[in-house]
Structure 1
């Protein structure tokens, strides 16, 4: 059995080191200072890498849902969470407070995620020190910072980055509690489990790898660990029941098929980076091959390091549980839903790097190779239309913000690739439509207690009082096509022309004529004047 023990340095003549208590104390103080520097430098570096270009991509549907939910009074937000999306409720509440301080925009909405990446990277360095040594700690933190799933999370106004941070620090708390158990520490771990589940329901699957790791590295602590985990999960039962009652909101998740293998091996941790995934898996396989060869040459088998046990459990078990659940009951697995497993995958990859390159310079070169392989994905994530199927809500909002004047009318058409009307553009970027008259609005989303506002029927539109009107609608297309993402999600890019839409016809019937048109990636903005 793997053991999790304190590593206390030998002192005195037997160690060939300092003989006085003051010298021992000074050495320990120096090592602690080095650790703190490593934690700070890796965390800050990960934050800066995550921040670069994070505000460039246009918002997409999921982010618009975050903004539209958080940008309403607390009573209205709580009413919404009582019927839909309670699974993201804590994140929306925190985002509501944040928006009250900094306002809404692509950069500000994603800045919490950028910070979350840095917090997770710092925590992984701490965990690496607890389970290994400095080489493992720093390498794991750096590998985590450059993984495509990590850099992707920084460009999402969703809770993914913070699920990573909570997963890491909850594991740090567990390891420190295993080393120095006390009722207070076990109570804190139970509280941490509860908070992680409320932040994102699927984080509950982290309990299984935690308990398996405890069984393997500190079996005598399994009882208290199981009791604390059970207490934390029990505290979330009301929340879980609420989210189960709202399960209809995930019925769109496609059933698993043969693509699931690619989702796990590539997109789960190496988003849209086929080359990066191939290089990373080659490193892992090469490290395993080297271990097998050493055994073949008569080397004595060693018990796996505690870091390997914890990392393997954290990387593999949540995915396995969700896939098993999806196959046995309801489809629930999407690669981005297990983003919290990314730090553990990073630690596994770091261990593979160090197994292959025992010298620091060689390890740095190998990490550099990984960084180069991941670079195209990083750059692609930070382009204007990097979001699924190239959604362009921000681009449309920018047109309105730059060209529309207060008092102008605005109306929104439908788009086959969009789950609601393109009024979502204004929901994602309320600053862009401030001062405009939404003539197609029947009832605000906050008043309806729903995600999206209720539109008026087109025949009820009244444009007679509009001197200038703006129509946000789908782009013109000659043919219908389907775009299928690696997850199995299918988007229909419908054929049609703006001139044939009922909104365009209503504007023309009111005596307005088209004077300008801006075509974007998926949508277009048309100006009418009387």
Structure 2
């Protein structure tokens, strides 16, 4: 029997196939990565630096000898990132655009890897959707514009999981190739732990992957191979694991914070605002119901993951969080919302599966539009001048000082707030604005200590330093309820100064005091 296709019908079919051939799996994943990079990079230079970024930049700008002394005492878990940033700043400077660029690149790499990984378990559309939704999650756009190691660790986590699945599915490869794949897994696991200690939380998730995704029979061979590769990776990472354990007091501040409730974690861990959380969790629930209740036998919604595939991504979402919560209760405070950033790729994939499970294309399009609509306000806040750490304003403070202070003036910083919000850090991340000013309370620069911050003295202990000054600038954190906030003003008033002008920037109060 001969079939005939009319020319005017054949052309669109051929063109459609050609387009599909041009958009190869690699190209589609790369394009998603490019979009993710651009989303994280856009306006990343706009917000002022904040405390954790100040720690990164100040540590990276130390000499290598000074940095080594610091890491012996604190922040060893960030040592590899500080060393990388040390070289990066030497090449490209310490501007917001420069120091945050590596994180945006890392988010692009993570999104690319998310598409590659998701394609192992589900259709191309859901895999691409997962990569794109991952790129839009507020937690991701925040860390993609931050001078910290979290985004780089997330990219490593994704590609480590890709390598694991590829290793499990290479049972027919030569023995030499299998050994090289598992060795690569060990090395990448160790590198990831050096970049971010809590990447080790992926190992229980990878145990689930081994059980559900391995194609080797009997299963024990895959399990043994993975256990051996994991053990080697942990052995290679032993120095940083030991250093992190010995310096565990540096995260003791978590225990002094109010306990995070499940409801707070459900919103803030990845989604930042209640509207985003409602949309995201609704689609996650849809995905769970569609896969575990609607599927039967071999019949399932086209493109959706199977139960094993969705279980893997759900485990990635839930298991690391559960470990930190349980560890906080039984061992030591260790749960912080940002530590679970490396779970965001799984969140994006599960949300995309929820979109795919909706009844028709109109509902799918509407859900995506609604999700983007509730994300945009959160994104706009993140990219505003005060988008970091609930309103960090150090660049704007530096602009005021640069415009109004003159060489020879004194400057005194409020020390009554937690280290990440001390106004003194503005001087270190925007040093040009403070050139020529006398730092009245400084006793020893941070670069000469084995600690993150400067050594300072109370103003009352260094009053001889103000005798030759005619003008002093006080920088105070206005959000503090501490009664000590007015002490420096009173002290200087007794020395013959008076308040000439007060300027409130955002959360920093600049007080000009003259004789």
TM-score scaled to structure 2, two decimals? 0.86
Q: Which residue of 1 aligns with 2:231?
A: 230
**2:450 paired with 1:460:** no
Structure 1 segment 366-385 matched on structure 2, within 5 A: 366-385=367-386
- For 2:481, which of 493, 496, 502 is the aligned residue? 493
1 CA distance for matches of 2:165 and 2:297?
Answer: 30
Distance 1:350 1:30, change over 3 A: closer
Aligned partners of 1:260, 1:63: CA distance in 2, in Å?
27
Query: Would you say 1:55 and 2:45 are equivalent positions?
Result: yes
Say yes or no: does 1:349 pair with 2:345: no
Q: Secondary structure at the match of 2:254?
A: coil
Could you tell me how far 1:508 is from its partner in structure 2? 4.6
- Find the counterpart in structure 1 of residue 281 from structure 2: 281
Comparing 434-443 with 221-230, greater Cα deviation is found at: 434-443
Tell me which residue corresponds to 1:319: 321
CA-CA distance at 1:397 after TM superposition: 2.1
Displacement of 1:444 in angstroms is 0.8
Distance 1:172 1:290, change over 3 A: closer
Q: 1:434 to 1:305 in 2, by over 3 A?
A: farther
Question: Per-residue deviation at 1:510?
Answer: 5.6
1:330-345 equivalences in 2 (<5 Å) = 330-345=332-347
Q: Secondary structure at the match of 2:261?
A: helix
Q: C-alpha displacement at 1:226, in angstroms?
A: 1.3
Q: 1:424 to 1:150 in 2, by over 3 A?
A: same
1:163–1:339: 8 Å Cα contact kept in structure 2?
no
Residue 389 of structure 1: how far off its partner (Å) = 4.3
Mark the CA change 1:468 to 1:259 in structure 2 (over 3 Å): closer, same or farther: closer
User: C-alpha displacement at 1:512, in angstroms?
Assistant: 4.9
The CA distance in 1 between the partners of 2:233 and 2:198, in whole Å, is 14
Which 10-residue stretch deviates more, 251-260 or 85-94?
A: 251-260
Counterpart Cα distance in 1 of 2:324 and 2:293: 34
- Cα separation, 1, equivalents of 2:501 and 2:475: 12
User: Alignment partner for residue 178 of structure 1, among 165, 168, 171?
Assistant: 168
* CA RMSD after TM alignment: 2.8
Q: Give the match for residue 76 of structure 1.
A: 66
Offset at 1:244?
0.9
Q: How many residues align structurally?
A: 482
Alignment of 1:8-407 (within 5 A): 31=21, 34-180=24-170, 182-218=178-214, 219=219, 220-254=221-255, 259-271=260-272, 273-291=273-291, 294=294, 304=306, 307-357=309-359, 359=361, 362-407=363-408
* Cα offset, 1:495, TM superposition: 4.3
CA distance in 1, matches of 2:162, 2:126: 15
Q: 1:326: how far off? A: 1.3
Write the deviation string for residues 108-150 of structure 1: whole angstroms up to 9, x where unpaired: 3322222221121111122223333321221011110111111
Between the aligned partners of 1:164 and 1:362, the Cα distance in structure 2 is: 31
Does the 8 Å CA contact 2:421/2:477 hold for their aligned counterparts?
no
Question: Aligned partners of 1:409, 1:229: CA distance in 2, in Å?
Answer: 55
Quote the offset at 1:299 in angstroms.
Answer: 6.3
Q: Is the 8 A contact 2:133 2:348 kept in 1?
A: yes
Name structure 2 gaps, 5 residues minimum. 1-16, 171-176
Cα distance change of structure 1 residues 137 and 431 upon mapping to structure 2, 3 Å threshold: farther
Distance 1:452 1:40, change over 3 A: same
Question: Take 2:494 and 2:99, find their aligned partners in 1: how far apart are those partners?
Answer: 40
CA distance in 1, matches of 2:511, 2:196: 40
- Partner Cα distance (1:65, 1:293) in 2: 48
Report the CA distance between 1:514 and its aligned residue.
3.9
Distance in 2 (alpha carbons) for counterparts of 1:228 and 1:274 = 41
TM-score using structure 1 length: 0.83
**Aligned CA distance change for structure 1 residues 277 and 404 (closer, same or farther; 3 Å):** same
Aligned pair in 2 of structure 1 residues 217, 256: CA closer, same or farther (>3 Å)?
Answer: farther
* Inter-partner Cα distance in structure 2 for 1:255 and 1:471: 28
Q: Deviation of residue 49 (structure 1)? A: 1.3
Secondary structure in structure 2 of the residue aligned to 1:47: helix
- Give the Cα–Cα distance (whole angstroms) in 2 for the partners of residues 138 and 28 of structure 1: 19
CA contact (8 A) 1:114 1:155 kept: yes
1:417–1:385 Cα change, 3 Å: farther
Classify the secondary structure of the residue corresponding to 1:518.
Answer: strand
Q: Is the 8 A contact 2:114 2:158 kept in 1?
A: yes
How far apart are the structure 1 equivalents of 2:499 and 2:205? 60
Kept in 2: contact 1:411–1:469 (CA 8 A): yes
With over 3 angstroms needed to count, the CA separation of the structure-2 counterparts of 1:367 and 1:421, relative to structure 1, is: closer
Distance of aligned partners of 1:388 and 1:86 in 2 relative to their CA distance in 1, 3 Å threshold: same
Relative to structure 1, the CA distance from residue 529 to residue 59 in structure 2 (aligned partners, 3 Å threshold; closer, same or farther) is same
> Is this contact kept in 2: 1:104–1:431, CA < 8 A?
no
- 2:168, 2:213 within 8 Å by CA — same for their partners in 1? no
The 1-side partners of 2:163 and 2:122 are apart by: 16
2:122–2:306 Cα contact (<8 Å) kept = no
Shift of 1:260: 2.8
Q: Distance in 1 between matches of 2:256 and 2:421?
A: 23
3-state SS of paired residue (2:510): strand
